[in-house]
Structure 1
Amino acid sequence: MNLAETINELEILITGANAKHNLSVSQLVEKVLERNEGILTSTGAIRATTGAYTGRSPRDKFIVKERSMEKKINWGTVNQPISEEAFDLLYNKVISYLKSRDEFFIFDGFAGADERFQLPLKVINEFAWHNLFAGQLFINRTKDDTASSEKPFTIISAPTFKADPKVDGTNSETFIIISFEKRTILIGGTEYAGEMKKSVFSVMNLLLPENNILPMHCSANVGFEGDVALFFGLSGTGKTTLSADPNRRLIGDDEHGWSTSGIFNIEGGCYAKCINLSKDKEPQIYHAIRYGSVLENVVVDQDTREADYNDSFYTENTRAAYSLSAIDKVIIPSIAGHPQTIVFLTADAFGVLPPISKLTREQAMYHFLSGYTSKLAGTERGVTAPEATFSTCFGSPFLPLPATIYASMLGQKIDEHEVQVFLVNTGWTGGEYGTGKRMKLKYTRAMVQAAVEGDLDNIETIQDEVFGLNIPIHVPGVPDDVLQPNQTWASYEDYLGKAKELATQFKNNFSKFSDVSPTIAKLGGPLQS
């Protein structure tokens, strides 16, 4: 199928009588309830469940191997190729499938708060609650928006359509396929709404660098004096929680671009992990879950319709999708200046990394490329307990280009704007997972506050004996012994053995970056293993 044929088939689909365009929040809520796709909770949010797929399915994600993309994409287990013929076959099947539905739903919006770099989006959903989700997560059109001359990137999502791997060239019944030439994201076989969000991020991770913009898997906020802070980290490491600070204004919770003018949010909403969410610990997120929001896989009392955020019956990966406008202190449009502080967040399941450390430039580049953290339960299909992992640039599942391209751009910007960089461990302390305890949120908040307010810029530090990290000897609001991981374990020998084990994993992982300056590997990594 050539591009013209693809456009024609899409035009026939979206002009059909069963296509419902840009319904209001109230109309979509009514549709969700009418179609029994979800229930209304006590706060007015919709609660939907996603069946077997309660997280992303990375093995089922593909990029079409088109001529213009063949030499650009960093092909491998993350960016799996699929042929144009296989894509066309599935595309036709999904289009025909949606044509046969009584109704489906279309949202028109954008990705990218900076109008100069916005990507027009058209989201076509089999489910009304998925369309409501899209309206919460992406940037909505306004009455003043002029029609873009740029062809939109189209998401076509048909969760109840299942692929036949033997015929369709997929790995399972599920598929998430990006065609850059046809500007289409094709999703089927999974009801997990996060696939739409992350697919758009993958697209932006290819398109933005072409305009000399660094795409980043990070949250961002700004102080009332204009000081910007970025929080990098994989799902579950605390990006959303730590950026939703009542003393600062939120720019965005997950995806941003960094241009020559400053940073901008790629999205118009937040997708917060809400297991164990409480009003006391995370008030901004708690109060944002109201009418128009979507709760995903959260247990709800059938009589009171109150959400039980502590119950992981469906999954640990419970989620809340809500508009940025639901946050009290937020910047709209989500644009700010250059950051003064960068925080790398890691959930260390080994329990040996310091809760906070100051990074040199070489260490910043080393840890950005390493992207060490733990996959937390439920964030991907099949993950039921924390697993140590290295995710390049804290977002390797979403990077179509070689990692060194993003790392080089970040290094240049850190140098140009003299950014302070910190590594913060939101994971375990006093022992590894199963023995130690998760770092207290109040301590992490105190450390982050000290970092972003500049209190740690000139503070005395001590060098970690294994990782070479510079640990502040004192942080206001945090017991001094908490800052030194070797003092929190019952046995120093056990700590040292586990620390050296992790240091070896760091070095083994970093050996794949053969094109990186030897100085970064030498000065940025562990001292011993």
Structure 2
Amino acid sequence: MRQTGIWNAAHGVEAFGLERLSGVSWNFGAPALIERAVRRGEAQLSAAGALVGESVTIPATILRVAEDGLSSDGFDALRADMADHAAGRELFAQDLHAGDRRTPLRVFAEHAWRALFAASSFERSDRAQLEQFIPALTVLDLPSFRPDAASHGVSGPFVAIDAERGIVLSGGGASASALVKAIADAVVGVEAPSGDEIRLNAAVTDGAAVALIVGAEGSGKSSLVGPDGLTEGVVGWSMQGLSGVDKPAAQAGITPQWGFGSVVENASLDPDTREPQSEGTLATPLASGALRPSDLFILARDAFGVLPPIARLDVEGAVRFMLLGYGPEVSSEGPQATFDPGFGAAEDLDAYGETLGRLIAEQDVRCWLVNTGWVGPASDETRVPLEATRALVAAARSGALDGLERRASKMFGFEVPVDVPDVDPLLFQPRKAWGDKRAFLAAARELKAEFETAAERLGLSAQDAAEDDEAPFREAAE
């Protein structure tokens, strides 16, 4: 096997189980990678000097071990078949650093232009680092590998992630930009949380301010992200900010340019002038950790028809709803309360809750409970309209809800706006939705009992109550 470049010979390609390659080009700089890519017919140069490569435009399927139906054995079988496919090929290796903790990242790419795309998206290592480099996360990128649905459980473009073992596999022609996003996601799983960091299964959206949106599967996170969405998946949150989030290039102080050394995916060029006819995706460094959330939205697709369309939570209430992970279901037997502690992201509830509360308080994050389910008995007529939910979330993020009068509910530990401009006031009047105040109060008490049972099972402290605990609900029902 012919190997050129600079690398740690004590921890080279053999350590990853790739032993039958024709060669490895280690840590080439942009000029050498561009030269190889053009010579091999992988990509072409634009008039401005940018390297332009092409990938399929079909979205890649993202598979994670222990999730998405992918077992460790299935991942190992896929890895072995990809290693066989790589036999006799030259790979381009890049030793990089990714994430807030500069996780050592090694990328083995089949194409030189894709190696440059990865190197342009993460931090390069200097010579001294290269000679001692040991990766915590290794990526094998083989666009020409075609998975078999019967053998691998996937067909077409894919990215498979085993964060526990620090391995990412990409094939089927998955785009370079999709791979980079998957790597950023995997880095969050590889990096061990520090004492002041927690993980969340969240959607992150930008705009005037950054918002975290969490909730059970099917609660509507994707519907609320909108065009300002930055990411959806596992993110880290610490005193330094958010990690695992693709920060917009403009916010990161990066001005994308089509110059020599840059690399662009799926841009069309005029065959004669090589001027771009479409923009494509320009590889730019991912900047994580500088973003801090201003709002935390906890979604509850309430099937009991009791919770308001939006309510303000104090720190204690937000921590409690996060730890409970309320995600009800509707069945033929009526609403069923389900609970997924921390929405699947919490292992040690006490430590998670303590850190979450400190982050909310010290970063002055506004917290909201958002009911994306029903107000009244579950039916098409009582479902909270998506347009109303979006309007309420937008109003909360803009600060428009901050000065409104709110009615406190000690039963559930939140405050409900009395009147929100441009939102149907009937959504805040459960009495009319239920038609029977006794039925409404019975449903509220049933849901409260479900919360208390779940809290006791999880070892959470009992919520303070008062004699007039149900007063706001009686008032709403009358």
Question: Normalising by structure 2, what TM-score?
Answer: 0.60
Q: Compared with structure 1, are the counterparts of its residues 409 and 199 closer, same or farther at alpha carbon in structure 2 (3 Å cutoff)?
A: farther
Please tell me whether the aligned partners of residues 201 and 343 of structure 2 are also in contact (alpha carbons under 8 angstroms): yes
Cα deviation, residue 10, structure 1: 2.0
* Contact 2:22/2:89, CA 8 A, preserved across alignment: no
2-structure distance, mates of 1:30, 1:17: 22
Aligned partners of 1:260, 1:235: CA distance in 2, in Å?
27
Q: How does 1:512-523 map to 2 (within 5 A)?
A: 512-514=457-459, 516=460, 518=461, 521-522=463-464
2:190 counterpart of 1:184: no
The partner residue of 2:402 within 457, 460, 465 is 457
Distance of 1:228 and 1:153 partners within structure 2:
28
**Which residue does 1:256 correspond to in 2?**
235
Q: Counterpart of 1:154?
A: 138
Taking the aligned partners of 1:337 and 1:463, their CA distance within structure 2 comes to 32
Match status 1:426 vs 2:380: no
Instruction: Name the SS of the counterpart of 2:400 in structure 1.
Output: coil
Matched, 1:475 2:459: no
Q: Aligned partners of 1:195, 1:402: CA distance in 2, in Å?
A: 31
1:47 matches 2:58: yes
Deviations 1:416-474 (A, max 9, x none): 23332111122334432x54454323322221222223333343222458534321111
Q: CA deviation at 1:207?
A: 2.5
Q: Which residue of 2 aligns with 1:213?
A: 197
Letter in 2 for 1:452: R
Alignment match of 2:14 (pick from 5, 8, 12): 8
Match of 1:319 in 2: none
Aligned twin of 1:168: none
1:392 is matched with 341
* Residue 391 (structure 1) shift: 2.7
Partner of 1:315: none
Q: Equivalent residue for 1:233? A: 215
Counterpart secondary structure, 2:302? coil
Which of 115, 122, 147 pairs up with 1:141?
122
C-alpha distance 245-156 of structure 1, shift in aligned 2 (>3 A):
closer
Per-residue deviation, residues 155-195 of structure 1 (Å, max 9, x unmatched): 56988478999xxxxxxxxx975544xx335799xx9x999
SS across alignment from 2:295: strand
What's the CA shift for 1:350?
A: 3.8
User: Cα 1:140–1:325, aligned 2, differ >3 Å: closer, same or farther?
Assistant: closer
Contact preservation (8 Å) 2:96, 2:125: no
C-alpha separation between the residues in 2 aligned to 1:219 and 1:228?
Answer: 10
Q: Specify whether residues 337 and 58 from structure 1 end up closer, same or farther in structure 2 by C-alpha distance, changes over 3 A only.
A: closer
| Residue 412 of structure 1, CA deviation | 1.2
CA distance 1:487–1:197, shift in 2 (3 Å): farther
Q: Does 1:242 align with 2:224?
A: yes
Query: In 2, are the aligned partners of 1:178 and 1:186 still within 8 Å (CA)?
Result: no
2:67 aligned with 1:58, yes or no? yes
- Match in the other structure for 2:294: 340
Rounded Cα–Cα distance in structure 2 between residues aligned with 1:194 and 1:470: 41
Over aligned residues, Cα RMSD in angstroms?
5.6
Distance of aligned partners of 1:350 and 1:162 in 2 relative to their CA distance in 1, 3 Å threshold: same
**What are the residue-to-residue correspondences of 1:4-153 with 2, within 5 Å?**
8-10=14-16, 12=18, 15-16=21-22, 46-47=57-58, 58=67, 60=69, 93-94=80-81, 96-99=83-86, 111-112=98-99, 114=100, 117-122=101-106, 140-141=121-122, 146=126, 149=133, 151-153=135-137
Q: CA deviation at 1:356?
A: 0.4
Following the alignment from structure 2 to structure 1, what is the Cα–Cα distance between the partners of residues 292 and 200? 13
Q: CA deviation at 1:197?
A: 7.0
Q: Are 2:337 and 2:450, in contact at CA under 8 Å, matched by a contact in 1?
A: no
Conserved? CA contact 2:311–2:370, under 8 Å = yes
Structure 1 CA distance for aligned equivalents of residues 53 and 190 of structure 2: 37
Structure 1 residues 87 and 337, CA, compared in 2 at 3 Å: closer, same or farther? closer
2:370 is aligned with what amino acid?
A: V
User: How many residue pairs align between the two structures?
Assistant: 395
Structure 1 residue 478, shift from structure 2 partner = 1.0
Residue by residue over 1:47-81, the C-alpha shift from the partner in whole angstroms, topping out at 9 and shown as x without a partner, is 3586xx9999638566xxxxxxxxxxxxxxxxxxx
Q: 2:358 aligns with which of 395, 412, 418?
A: 412
C-alpha contact (below 8 Å) 1:354/1:471 kept by paired residues:
yes
User: What letter matches 1:214 in structure 2?
Assistant: I
Q: Write the distance in 2 (CA, Å) between the matches of 1:61 and 1:503.
A: 37
Higher mean alpha-carbon deviation, 149-158 vs 344-353, is at 149-158
Pairwise CA distance, 1:411:
0.9
Separation (CA, whole Å) in 1 of partners of 2:348 and 2:294:
26
Given that 2:65 and 2:75 are in contact with CA atoms closer than 8 Å, whether structure 1 keeps it comes out as no
Question: How far apart in 2 are the matches of 1:503 and 1:119?
Answer: 44
Q: Distance in 2 between matches of 1:483 and 1:325?
A: 47
Instruction: Report deviation, 1:366.
Output: 0.7
Match of 1:357 in 2: 311
Letter in 1 for 2:418: I
Cα distance in 1 between the residues matched to 2:239 and 2:390:
30
Q: How far apart in 2 are the matches of 1:369 and 1:239?
A: 18
- 1:140 to 1:462, Cα distance in 2 relative to 1, 3 A: same
1:356 corresponds to which letter in structure 2? I
Q: Does 1:439 align with 2:384?
A: yes
Aligned equivalents of 1:346 and 1:195: distance in 2?
32
CA–CA distance in structure 2, aligned partners of residues 54 and 10 of structure 1: 20
Secondary structure at 2:193 match in 1: helix
SS at 2:299's partner residue? strand
Superposition deviation, residue 153 in structure 1:
0.7
Residues of 1 paired with 2:178 and 2:349: CA distance? 23
Change (3 A) 1:501 1:333: same
CA contact (8 A) 2:407 2:418 kept: yes
Q: Which amino acid aligns with 2:224?
A: L
**Residues 79 and 169, structure 2, Cα contact 8 Å, conserved in 1:** no
Counterpart in the other structure of 1:172: none
8 Å Cα contact 1:110-1:140 kept in structure 2: no
